[in-house]
Structure 1
Amino acid sequence: MRGTPAAARVRILAAVLCAACCALPALSPRAGTPWGASGLLLALCLACEALGRRFDPGSLRAGGAGSFLPLLPVAAFLLPPAAAALVATGAAAAGRVERPPFAARRIWRAAQLALACCAASWTHTLLGGPATLGGPGAPDFPYALLPAGAAALTFSLTLTALDCAILAAAEGQPVRRSWRALLPRALGPHLVHALAGLMMAVLWRSLYGPLSALFVLLPMYISCWVFAQCHREETAHRATIRALVQAVDIKDAYTRGHSERVGRASVLIARELGMDPARLEALRFAGILHDVGKLGVPTRVLRKDGPLTPEERRVMSLHPEYGHEIVRGIGFLDEARAAILHHHERMDGNGYPYGLSGCRIPEFARIVAVADAFDAMTSTRSYRRGRPVPAALAELRRCAGSQFDPRMVRALTRAVDRHGWSCADTAVTADEAGGGVPVPAARRDAAPSRDRRPSPDRSA
């Protein structure tokens, strides 16, 4: 714990003391702790964690809680609060820790899960949950769902509150922001775990005994594994996109931040059009990666401050084809590839690279073209100030029909009227780095592409 901030150490110590107060009563002979059930649940938790280390099934983890997390609701439903806290402590203490400081994280995780499991067990007990599980008789459905759901909510709220407290102490993150980010992600998995835990608890209490409860465990972990595989794939997709965007930003510092805003504006347009939500992610990728082909353009051309020569314009006009080649083998981009290739086509057929016109231009490309031009005009460059949003929209309307799809322009206008347009990023960009005064957030940062303008500014 040597590298842990003092404030975080204090909170870890406080959590450990509270967890000890919750768990230690289970060791008293007068507590009547069901050691058989407690030991079996702890053994199952340890077995799941061992399998997780060996095969990495990727169970639904909350804050690195471990592969045993789905079993903790079972402990909360079947055991007294002190015994449930003891099981959680033992399982967490044996779990893996992936990042330093290892000792501090292991101690914190054990205390955190003990407190959350104890609170969930108290909630379940106070609402009469143990009586609804049935014992030798039939379980009391649907009334058993209320205490189980309340216990899962308590578990999730406790974990989130403790996470917010430690993040505020260790990393200085605002509690409100952490709460908004962590709670929605935690609620879903914990509620799913609670439903599976309720089924296990009912079977455990039934005439068939604890062995029958294991039949719930296997499909639950298979579903967790499938979910984790999807999560890993999505994470890999986002890492790929992030790496490509960072490569473009490094090569062309003038357009830093432009790609993300084009992706955001493209999604605003699509939502106004009522596009199928399943396509929005691919469209956002198209907006973010529309200029990835600039990786194939010489740096001296990208960073040139003066007007481009005809030869330099010809080289610049190749970037859509370069971009299409770069992303050709990335299967998850789907329709985004067509947008990257055709986002410089014009409705009148005078665009490039293939001179497509009208509806022959892919829908994604027509959306990205409008979003790209809008952010280009409202952004500030070293050679000109950004236009006000109303002026940029007026210019898009002037060019609608010849350069841009009028339907996309109208959709962007409605979206901006409804949601506004601003840039929350306040970092100083390449355009501001010369010691000047930063310009307003809504008009700076992402420099426009220098190969196409809907207006006379540096027209290529």
Structure 2
Amino acid sequence: MRVWRTLLAVVLVASAAPTVLLGVLVVRDRGGVDAPVIAAALASAALAAGLSAIAARRITRPIAECVRGALEIARGRFGHQVRVFARNEIGDLAYTFNHMSRQLESYDAENHRLIAALERGYLETIRSLASAIDAKDPYTRGHADRVAALAVEIGRELGLPAEALSALEYAGILHDVGKIGIPDAILAKKTPLSSDEMALVRGHPRIGAEIVGGVAFLAAAVPAIRSHHERWDGAGYPDQLAGEAIPLVARIVSAADVWDACTSDRPYQKALGPADAAAVVGTLRGTQLDPSVHDALLAVLERRGLLRAATTAA
């Protein structure tokens, strides 16, 4: 707008100057000003103003269009094209801008493709690591993938954003990564663990968090890895956190972990059916499990048809 006003003033002065000069000469020649001269001067001034406004607009409108296009690019809307058809330097600027915008769109698409491929590679790597942990204990084979899938569904039920769902997937897969240092004999032991053995097992959340703590893309999953054995009532481990002091991702992974533990064969118990497992999990609501997360878990299980099927069978 400031450029438009400046151009208007410059063009107006340039176009009005001859009229003013002519008027001065007429006044000097005739010794005064009559009505026709005044009318001609006003008409000339009006024409000069109109032509000046048109000229200024023709120059500033393409500039304004380029500015709007630049703002769209700044907002990340790559590929935006400006509609400027002037056959002058401003038209050349618009053509160059449009070419740049298309190139940025192409680079952005390629970056998204590479990032997606990189994330898939990361995911496959951590799945391989989880499989190595599962191989130590045949009773938990597939446990990590099941916990990850269920945790993501619970997160969706709670309306969490995509970033949190990714953290839940990574945390679900790696929540037991700290067990990699626990002897197989302890993991597969069918009799009660000694106090020393229990202390060793209870150290796996802390160890797991330390293992992945230096990996930048897993940073959001670390709280769940460390705190998935914390309890809503504060009686968990390793930090005895309680209530909402426990990270939400950890509360969600905990609920998914409990459900899978109830419905899988373990050295110390046979798998429970959905109805019996739901009953056991229900007793943990408000003590071990966050009530809202427990309710979201049940909603997911109902959507899967597990609880309805169990109810029908009963």
TM norm structure 2: 0.62
Residues 307 and 363 of structure 1, relative CA distance in 2, 3 Å threshold: same
* Matching residue within 419, 432, 438 for 2:304: 419
Match of 1:205 in 2: none
Match of 1:357 in 2: 242
1:408 aligns with 2:290: no
* Matching residue within 113, 131, 135 for 1:250: 135
- The separation in 2 between residues aligned to 1:416 and 1:269, in whole angstroms, is 9
1:267 aligns with 2:157: no
What letter matches 1:270 in structure 2?
A: G
Return the offset for 1:221. Answer: 4.7
- The separation in 1 between residues aligned to 2:229 and 2:145, in whole angstroms, is 18
Residues 215 and 358 of structure 1, relative CA distance in 2, 3 Å threshold: closer
* Matching residue within 191, 198, 223 for 1:306: 191
- The separation in 2 between residues aligned to 1:377 and 1:331, in whole angstroms, is 33
What letter matches 1:367 in structure 2?
A: I
- The separation in 2 between residues aligned to 1:384 and 1:298, in whole angstroms, is 20
Return the offset for 1:268. Answer: 1.9
Match of 1:395 in 2: 280
- The separation in 1 between residues aligned to 2:100 and 2:261, in whole angstroms, is 58
- The separation in 2 between residues aligned to 1:310 and 1:358, in whole angstroms, is 27
1:322 aligns with 2:212: no
Say which one has the larger Rg. Answer: 2
On the 8 A contact 2:134/2:140 being kept in 1, the answer is: yes
Return the offset for 1:408. Answer: 1.0
Return the offset for 1:381. Answer: 2.9
Return the offset for 1:389. Answer: 0.9
Residues 232 and 300 of structure 1, relative CA distance in 2, 3 Å threshold: same
- The separation in 2 between residues aligned to 1:226 and 1:265, in whole angstroms, is 30
* Unpaired runs of at least 5, structure 1: 1-195, 200-211, 423-460
- The separation in 1 between residues aligned to 2:298 and 2:109, in whole angstroms, is 43
What letter matches 1:313 in structure 2?
A: M
- The separation in 2 between residues aligned to 1:421 and 1:263, in whole angstroms, is 18
Tell me the SS of whatever aligns to 2:232.
Answer: coil
* Matching residue within 246, 254, 257 for 1:372: 257
Deviations 1:26-77 (A, max 9, x none): xxxxxxxxxxxxxxxxxxxxxxxxxxxxxxxxxxxxxxxxxxxxxxxxxxxx
- The separation in 2 between residues aligned to 1:238 and 1:304, in whole angstroms, is 31
Residues 418 and 311 of structure 1, relative CA distance in 2, 3 Å threshold: same
Residues 346 and 220 of structure 1, relative CA distance in 2, 3 Å threshold: closer
Return the offset for 1:312. Answer: 0.6
Return the offset for 1:298. Answer: 1.8
Residues 214 and 415 of structure 1, relative CA distance in 2, 3 Å threshold: closer
Return the offset for 1:299. Answer: 2.0
Match of 1:222 in 2: 107
* Matching residue within 231, 234, 240 for 2:125: 240
* Unpaired runs of at least 5, structure 2: 1-78, 82-95, 308-314
Return the offset for 1:403. Answer: 1.2
Residues 215 and 311 of structure 1, relative CA distance in 2, 3 Å threshold: closer
Return the offset for 1:368. Answer: 0.9
1:294 aligns with 2:179: yes
What letter matches 1:389 in structure 2?
A: P
- The separation in 1 between residues aligned to 2:153 and 2:112, in whole angstroms, is 29
- The separation in 2 between residues aligned to 1:412 and 1:357, in whole angstroms, is 20
On the 8 A contact 1:370/1:409 being kept in 2, the answer is: yes
Residues 290 and 214 of structure 1, relative CA distance in 2, 3 Å threshold: same
In the TM superposition, what are the counterparts of 1:84-163 in structure 2 within 5 Å? none
Tell me the SS of whatever aligns to 1:269.
Answer: helix
Q: Percent identity?
A: 41
On the 8 A contact 2:164/2:249 being kept in 1, the answer is: no
Query: CA RMSD of the aligned region, Å?
Result: 2.6
What letter matches 1:241 in structure 2?
A: I
- The separation in 1 between residues aligned to 2:273 and 2:244, in whole angstroms, is 30
Return the offset for 1:222. Answer: 2.6
Which structure 1 residue ranges, 4+ long, deviate > 4 Å from structure 2?
A: 212-221
Residues 221 and 322 of structure 1, relative CA distance in 2, 3 Å threshold: same
What letter matches 1:384 in structure 2?
A: Q
**Higher relative helix content:** 2
- Equivalences, count: 215
Return the offset for 1:334. Answer: 3.1
Deviations 1:291-348 (A, max 9, x none): 1110121222112222211111111000001100111011112321001001111112
Match of 2:266 in 1: 381
Residues 356 and 224 of structure 1, relative CA distance in 2, 3 Å threshold: closer
On the 8 A contact 1:397/1:406 being kept in 2, the answer is: no
Deviations 1:341-361 (A, max 9, x none): 011111121111011111111
- The separation in 2 between residues aligned to 1:220 and 1:349, in whole angstroms, is 50
Match of 2:57 in 1: none
On the 8 A contact 1:263/1:284 being kept in 2, the answer is: yes
On the 8 A contact 2:190/2:268 being kept in 1, the answer is: yes
Return the offset for 1:251. Answer: 2.0
